[in-house]
Amino acid sequence: MSRLILAIGVILLWSACKFNSTTSNSLPIYGNRQAVTRVVNGQTVIDTLYQTIPPFKLVNQYGDSISNNDLNGKIYVADFFFTSCPSICPVMQRNMLNVYNTYKNTPDVKILSYTIDPKYDSVKVLKKYADKLGVTGNMWWFIQGKKDDTYRLAEKSYLVAVSQDTTVPGGYVHQGYFVLVDKQKRVRGSYDGTNAQQVSQLIDDVKTLKAEPAPGANQ
Amino acid sequence: MKFKVIIGVLCLLLILAVSCQSPQSIEFARYYSSGSLLYQSHCQNCHGAKGEGLNALIPPLTDTVFIKNNIHQLPCLVKNGLRGKLTINKKDFTEKMPSNDLAPIEIANVLTYVANSFGNKRGTIDVVQVGNDLNNCK
């Protein structure tokens, strides 16, 4: 009898572990969602519309203007920083360099670092900063725009995952989060950019996103 | 039997070694361990856990010749920060290091840690020396 219980226990445990391992392989989708109905081949189907990063227009370290069309079909990591930041930014950049070095030759992965001090961080300052970090090419963009726009984008769009996951009020922009965005511009994760362990999780999660079927493939 | 004797002798030697630690090395250990904590809270974000710096933005603390030649300037550097050109490991650095609100004893602790880590081996940087150096800040 007790052997039977043991056996059941083992099976339950095993299936519980199994369950965990499969769920950890897909990432949540953050933000608001909305159900829309549409008709396909005479049948009504319900789709879920997810919150996405809205259009923006900014300038990168090369002086090129960047809009979110440049991110079509790209997985990217966004963060918020300023070049004269003495406290957490060096740690964030050290960790982001790991992301950069892992994916710099992967055309569908990018990094976007938004400056929150565009007054000081001109295109010239951003370029110099990128050079000193050892960042070349177009994989990692340091971008600037109007301060208000950047803050709105940060708080309303990028950091939804953070505000859903914690009860800490406001000020997320200054806390060094790395935000993972998928090819359909949906937020899929947020990570403490000052924590090397969380950043290696991010590096793994990019792989998970790369393995997701292309949008439209199963529709 | 032989084994027990060997262990016994080893234990004795160990006890001797510990109790015979000179006052200097006890002082060094105290400076170094306090300095290690101060380093983590005040310097590590920029200079890195291994003193590796950050590419061309922040210099590494592994230039043993620079540390040796500038040992008496370091207290002022840590206290007042620095802005200007420095050549470390043959590379130029021009970013700004911020000032630190640290007491002389804390500066002595953290410099003892730095000057005896990352390849440096300069022994205790004691608080009296640091006090003198601080009086000569430019």
**What is the ipTM score, two decimals?**
0.77
Count of C-beta atoms within a 10 Å radius of residue A126: 23
CB contact under 8 A, B57 and A133: yes
Instruction: From chain B, pick out residues whose CB is under 8 angstroms from the CB of A192.
Output: none
For the segment A113-135, the average pLDDT, to the nearest whole number, is: 96
Query: What is the tally of structural domains in chain B?
Result: 1
The answer to whether residue B18 is domain-embedded is no
The C-alpha atoms of residue A159 and residue A175 are separated, in whole angstroms, by 11
Smallest Cα distance from B54 to chain A, Å: 7
Which pLDDT score, from 0 to 100, does residue A1 have?
59
Closest CB from B54, B55, B98 relative to A86: B98
Considering chain A, what is the average pLDDT of its residues? 86
Q: Which of B45, B56, B96 is the closest to A90 by Cβ?
A: B45
- Residue A218: what pLDDT? 46
Residue of B nearest to A93 (CA): B54
CATH class of A52-210: alpha beta
Question: A88: nearest CA in chain B?
Answer: B45
pLDDT value of residue A163: 66
Q: What is the pLDDT of residues B55-109, one digit of tens each?
A: 999 999 999 999 999 999 999 999 999 998 999 999 999 999 999 999 999 999 9
Produce one character per residue of A79-107: b if its CB has 16 or more CB atoms within 10 Å, e if not: bbbbbebeebbbbbbbbbbebbebbbeee
Provide the pLDDT for residue B10.
Answer: 75
A-side interface with B, Cβ within 8 Å?
A: 84, 86-88, 90-91, 93-94, 97, 129, 131-134
The model's confidence at residue A39, banded by pLDDT at 50, 70 and 90, is confident
Going by the DSSP 8-state scheme, the letter that residue B122 receives in this structure is -
pLDDT at B5: 78
Residue contact B57–A86, C-beta within 8 A:
no
* Percentage of residues of chain A with pLDDT beyond 70: 82
pLDDT of A213 over the 90 cut? no
Q: Give chain B positions within 8 Å (CB) of A91.
A: 45
Name the amino acid, one letter, at A167: T
| Nearest chain B Cα distance for residue A186, angstroms | 31
Interface test with A, best of B42, B55, B88 (most A CBs within 10 A): B55
Residue B92 belongs to what domain range? 23-135
Residue B23: pLDDT band (50, 70, 90) is confident
Confidence at B15, pLDDT banded by 50, 70, 90: low
> Positive or negative CA dihedral for A38, A40, A41, A45?
negative
Alpha-carbon distance B71 to nearest alpha carbon in chain A (angstroms): 24
Q: Which of A87, A94, A128 to mutate to test the interface with B (most CBs of B within 10 A)?
A: A94
Which CATH number belongs to the domain containing residue B58 in this structure? 1.10.760.10
Indicate the range of A36-45, A76-85, A102-111, A129-138 predicted with least confidence.
A36-45
A21 or A54, greater pLDDT: A54
- pLDDT for residue A23: 46
Q: Is B82 on the interface with A (CB under 8 A)?
A: no
The answer to whether B134 and B76 are in contact (CB under 8 A) is: yes
Assign A165 a pLDDT band (cuts: 50, 70, 90).
Answer: low
Residue A50 CA to its chain's centroid (Å) = 15
**pLDDT at residue A166, as a whole number:** 55
Question: Residues near B55 by Cβ (< 8 Å), separated by ≥ 6?
Answer: A97, A132, A133, A134
Helices (H), B20-124: 23-42, 44-47, 64-69, 74-80, 104-114
Q: Which residue has the higher pLDDT, B97 or A161?
A: B97
Stretch A185-191: mean pLDDT, rounded? 94
Map out the domains of chain A as residue ranges.
52-210
Q: What are the CB-based long-range contacts (under 8 Å, 24+) for B44-48?
A: B45/A87, B45/A88, B45/A90, B45/A91, B46/A86, B46/A90, B46/B97, B48/A94
Q: What is the pLDDT of residue B22?
A: 75
Residue B126 is assigned to a structural domain of this protein: yes
